[in-house]
Amino acid sequence: MSCVPAPEHPNPVVLIHGTYANASMFTQMASHLRGQGYCIYAVNYGREPLSPYGTADLMESSQEVAAFIDSVLEETGAEKVDLVAHSQGALHAKNYVSRFGNADEVGRVVTLGGNLHGTTLNGTAVFSLLWSTLLPTFTSLVSSPAAIQQVAGSPTMVEANSYPDTAAGVTYTSLVSSLDTVVTPNSASFFEAVPGANVANLDAQAACSPAIPITHPYMPTHRTMIALTQWGLERPLDEVVPGPEDCRA
């Protein structure tokens, strides 16, 4: 875990993957950020038996991610970390800061297609909730606890939404794409600022118009999203829209 950060980037960066994914999704992003002087740590979490990572109960996964973040702080001796999270990972970042009371340990949070408030799955979520209510055993066989719990209106998301998205003193950047059909609508990814929190909610597809469209599964590997992640980690607090140069990694 040892790493010596560049003086201008003292906070270790913890990368938090999404559902049915793992830390390897961040290989390109991690390489880019290390080249800019950041110390990078990535967590694998939430593995159900015989299933991929990111499939377990959301609260259990949040606790697992929190323990990893705490271990990075202890190992590095840093005062704060920065969190970069894709999809489901955004909820674990939010829980670490707001629900578990660790705002003093976090400098910045950058999310990519983050599922903060529950997804409508492009209009199909109501059927997922219905099946999980009427046939819970069948639903558990064809899906995963994490997938079911992330649907808008689920008891898990209702409880999650009772906690604030943000905390004073932390800088947040939410990167979304109008072409995302997994976490929908885009507002499901937007942070609502409490007093003292700095928030930028950005449609990366509209802001940067990349040649390759930005879709949900490939956000962690998309060069525009990698560039904008760095922007989110470094942007001045009064800057909520990137310049053209910020769109290029």
Q: Are 112 and 225 in contact (CB under 8 A)?
A: yes
Number of helices (H) and strands (E) in the chain: give both, helices first.
9, 6
Assign 5 a pLDDT band (cuts: 50, 70, 90).
Answer: confident
pTM: 0.93
- SS3 label, residue 181: coil
Mean pLDDT of 104-119: 98
Q: Is the pLDDT of residue 11 over 90?
A: yes
Residue-wise pLDDT tens digits, 206-231: 999 999 999 999 999 999 999 999 99
Q: What is the pLDDT of residue 128?
A: 52
Which contiguous run of DSSP H or E holds residue 199? Answer: strand 198-203
Q: What is the pLDDT of residue 48?
A: 84
Residue-wise pLDDT tens digits, 33-68: 999 999 999 999 999 888 999 999 999 999 999 999
Mean pLDDT of the residues in the chain:
92
Q: What is the pLDDT of residue 6?
A: 84
* Residue 159 amino acid letter: E
Q: Is the pLDDT of residue 163 over 50?
A: yes
Q: Are 228 and 248 in contact (CB under 8 A)?
A: no
Mean pLDDT of 87-96: 98
Give, in order, the Cα–Cα distances in Å from 17 to each of 1, 20, 26, 43.
18, 9, 8, 7
Q: How far apart are CA 79 and CA 143, in angstroms?
A: 39
